[in-house]
Structure 1
Amino acid sequence: MAYDDIFARLKVDHDRHRKLLAQIEQTTGASDERAALFAEFTFEAKGHAAAEEQALYSTVLRKPPLTACGRHSVAEHHEIEEALNDIAATDMSTGGWLTKFKSLSERYLHHIQEEEDEMFPKFAAELTEEDATFMREVFERRKAAEKDKAEVTPEKKEDSKE
């Protein structure tokens, strides 16, 4: 069934993101490894979120019973992107960087767990086979393009203290 296919595909990315977050947490200071892993996570997460919005959430938002769930997840994507940009603007050798990173990691892990445990099952109950096929095709096509144009964008949050 294509439903399982699209949601399994999204979970493959989520599992990769979990691994990258764990690897970043094991790094210290302004190391090349930390910088490379953070950049990789940023490209992966931003590319995934943009493709997920174009494939999954564009479909979900057209289904009245799912609109609120879709809006919630898209809003979380925006918050995560802002946090990534704020972390990128923070000196990697400071404790502030690690504090912000850990906060982002917790928020992101909560987000993907919520998608997998709550959102995806709700979505599967309302989507048609055509929806699922469309979503998989769009996701696969857009993921690479969105990851290629994703950037590490140092941008302080307005309420950021560093």
Structure 2
Amino acid sequence: MARIGSKPDTRFRDKPGIFGRLIEDHDRHRELLAAVSETSGDTPERATLFEELTYELKAHAAAEEQALWSSVLRKPEITEQGRHAVAEHKEIDDLLNELAARDMSKGSWLVRFGALKEEYLHHIREEEQELFEAVSRHLDKADRDYMESVFSRRKPVEKDKAEITPKLHAAH
């Protein structure tokens, strides 16, 4: 599958633990963003890839919030980083929902998808290069182990719960 952009430098890439696991997901999301960008019109390929991207992003964000950001929010010295990440998750979720409700055959869909892609790539680059680094200094091994356990357990559950607007489901 096509790659989009480069993978940002981070000391957590290809490392065990919660941050390495999150970055692994981010790399998959980069691939899906690139694949959707290469599609055209209201095709089954675009619909399938966009649906997969939507489920992945929504499940990842929910599990990440439960595993990482909920713990970060309880630590006053890093609460702001958690608030920032969760707020960006909400913006991305809103963009996904807006796209799912739009007609994929229109050129405006791809333009709006470009905005989502730009927003999401900014978000994960910021997480990988700034936020993970900043919050990791305030988390001990027990915190990180707990977070990884919660993320691994919650992501499949969240993927099952994730929804795409009824319009997209009707297209299949």
Common topology (TM > 0.5): yes
Given the alignment of the two structures, is residue 7 of structure 1 paired with residue 19 of structure 2, yes or no?
yes
Rounded Cα–Cα distance in structure 2 between residues aligned with 1:145 and 1:98: 30
Rounded Cα–Cα distance in structure 2 between residues aligned with 1:88 and 1:80: 12
Rounded Cα–Cα distance in structure 2 between residues aligned with 1:4 and 1:33: 33
* Residues 24-103 of structure 1 aligned to structure 2 (within 5 Å): 24-103=36-115
Q: Which has the higher helix share?
A: 1
Q: Percent identity?
A: 58
Q: Which residue is equivalent to 1:105?
A: 117
Relative contact order higher in (CA < 8 Å, ≥ 6 apart): 1
1:5-55: CA deviations, max 9, x gaps?
Answer: 110000000000000000000000000000000000000000000000000
> What's the secondary structure of 1:91's corresponding residue?
coil
| 5+ residue gaps, structure 2 | 1-14, 168-172
Following TM superposition, where does structure 1 have runs of at least 4 consecutive aligned residues deviating by more than 4 angstroms? none
Q: How many residues align?
A: 154
Distance apart, 1:4 and its partner CA: 5.2
Contact map agreement 2:81 2:135 (CA 8 A) in 1: no
Q: Which residue is equivalent to 1:141?
A: 153
| TM-score in terms of structure 2 length | 0.87
Contact map agreement 1:86 1:154 (CA 8 A) in 2: no
Contact map agreement 1:60 1:123 (CA 8 A) in 2: yes
Rounded Cα–Cα distance in structure 2 between residues aligned with 1:37 and 1:151: 15
Rounded Cα–Cα distance in structure 1 between residues aligned with 2:124 and 2:83: 15
Q: CA RMSD in A?
A: 1.5
| TM-score in terms of structure 1 length | 0.92
